[in-house]
Structures are given as structure tokens and as C-alpha cells.
Amino acid sequence: MTGIASVHPSAPRPSASLIVVNARNEILFVHRNPQAQSFGGVHVFPGGNYDAAQDDSYQMTAIRETFEESGVLLASSRTQTTLLSDAVVDSSRRSIHAQQMLFKDFLKEHNLETDRKYLLPFTEWVTPPQVPRRFHTRFYVAFLPSSSTTTSDFSHGTIQHRLPTSDGGLEVIAARFIHPLDALAEFRSSKIALMPPQYYLITTLAGVLHGREATLEQQARVRELAAGAFGSMVINPRGHPGGQDQDGRSVLTYEGDETRGGSKGRLHRSLVRFGKKGIPTEIVLLRNFDVFTEIEHQAFSKQSRL
């Protein structure tokens, strides 16, 4: 992210990622295989590239990739009363990952319907032009059901959610739920690695998902964010014209910063210290406005997304 932009940057690949929140306000993370081509060794939300052969929407991409990478299946049936066995789920997951079975065929065979309508848009991020492998990632957030927060969400039919597991090391070596505050603490103590988009979104959710038990009020606040200007933000990180700060950290600016269409004094940027292979060892988010009420829409015009 700190190099000079290529004369002919690669086109960003359309992709999707899902932030799954459980009843304890914990977020599903997958630990990428260190040998992976993209984000090796980093903790990310499950996700991947849009596949026209399998996906009819970006929401479907997010659900399919979450199933492949973690085994968590956001789908339900209006007719089945018997849950799928672990053996069936694991076998199908391996076949889908190996491209021996299409995800949509797995759903059809077991009379399952994805819960895509409960996926809430939660910003889009486009990789900077100087990075060889670029993505345009649509992030979504979804809440797993619990007895204390039951609403209309996920309340129909038979629903099956399992503890997350890795995909056997193909892309992911571990999968687990972590509270946003714990994830931030683990990053700061160098126990896990995060990229700027994940850090940004975790920090945002940490300001809403207080405590270790989900409440309807907290979920309503996240839905408010998703339905407002925040949910539709398209963020294109760019290096600050001044380069690094006084501590040698790269300054990544986002739309709405005073240098990116925002009003004078408006800060929307991250201070990032990059380590080996471009993986951050330190991130500080500077955002001095209320994401619920003070997003400046004009800074996110079509021109600012180029």
C-alpha cells in the first residue's frame, strides 16, 4: 500500500466478506494459511471472490465462502425437521471447496435456503492501485440467533449453526469467534495480524457491541449503521501526500478526510506501520466524526471512488 501506483493497475476482482456476530457479541474470524497468495497469516472475516458459476449475488458469495472456510452455514429450510449430520456437512464442504460440487446444488439437494436477506451492507473497500492483487470487497454483517435476541431474523424453519472449524489448511488454518475488544487487544500485543479494513470495521463494531451478551438495542444500532450512509460507503485507501508521519508510519487516507473531499479539519485516515510482506504491525484509526450522523455524503461521490 505504500508503493507508487502502477501505470496500468490491475482491475479489482469483485468479492464479498461476511462479519458473523454470535450471541456473545463475538465476531467470526478465520486465520489465513501463511502460504496463501492473499493475506497469508492474517486474521480476516471469511470471504472470497465472486464466482459467476455459483453465485447469483454478492450475498451468496459471502455465505458460500463462509461455509467453505469455516463450516458455518447461514441457511435454513422451511420443511426439514432433521438437521444435517456433521458428516454430510463436512463432506459437502470439502466437495464444494474442491469444486466437485456447486454450493447451489448442495442447497437444492437438502432443500436449504440461504439467509441472505439478513445480511446487512457494511461498507465496500477497494484495494489501492499499486497492489498487484486487487479486490473490490463488499462487507456484510449478520447476527446468529439466540434465545435472548430472537426477532424475525432467522426465525423461520430449521436453522443449523455449528462451531467454526478450519478448512483443513487449504486456505484457513483456524476459525474462531473473538469479541471485537479482544481482537483489538490481540492485534496490539502482536498475537494476531489484521489488515486496515478489518481493523476499521472491528473498531466500529467495538463502539456498538458493548458487553459479552448481545441485546436487541445493540443489534438495532448496527442495523441503523448499515441502513445509513455508513453501510453504503465505498472506501479507496490512498497514501497521504505528505507520506509518513513523524513516527515513520504510513498515512492512509479515506474518502471524507480533509484531503479527500471532507471539510477542513475532518480526519478519516489510518496510521499504519507495515512489517514483512506488507502486513501491518500497528494501526491507529483517526476518525473525528460520528459515523451515525456526520458522514459527508459529497465526499463519497462517484468521482471520489476512481
pLDDT reported for residue 92? 92
| pLDDT at residue number 277 | 87
- What is residue 287's predicted lDDT score, i.e. its pLDDT? 99
- Determine the Cα–Cα distance for residues 26 and 182; give it in Å rounded to an integer: 9
The secondary structure element, H or E, covering residue 173 is strand 172-178
Q: What is the pTM of this model?
A: 0.90
Task: For residue 282, give Cα distances in angstroms to 191, 193, 202, 262, 286.
Answer: 12, 9, 15, 25, 13
Pinpoint the alpha helices (H) of 77-195. Answer: 86-97, 103-109, 180-188
The one-digit pLDDT tens for each residue of the chain (306 residues) are 444 445 678 899 999 999 999 999 999 999 988 877 777 899 999 999 999 999 999 999 999 999 999 999 999 886 766 678 888 888 999 999 888 999 999 999 999 999 999 999 999 999 999 888 999 999 999 999 864 333 333 333 334 456 577 666 677 888 999 999 999 999 999 999 999 999 999 999 999 999 999 999 999 999 999 999 999 999 999 999 988 999 999 999 999 999 999 999 999 999 999 999 889 999 999 999 999 999 998 898 654 443
Q: How many CB atoms sit inside 10 A of residue 9's CB? A: 14
pLDDT at 78: 65
Q: What is the pLDDT of residue 39?
A: 73
- C-alpha dist (Å) from residue 276 to 36, 169, 192, 230, 296: 15, 22, 14, 32, 35
Q: For position 160, what pLDDT does the model report?
A: 47
Write down the pLDDT at residue 134: 94
* CATH superfamily name and code, 13-236: Nucleoside Triphosphate Pyrophosphohydrolase (3.90.79.10)
Sorted by where each begins, the domain ranges of the chain are 13-236, 237-300
Q: What is the DSSP string of 251-268?
A: EEE-TTSTTTTPPTT--E
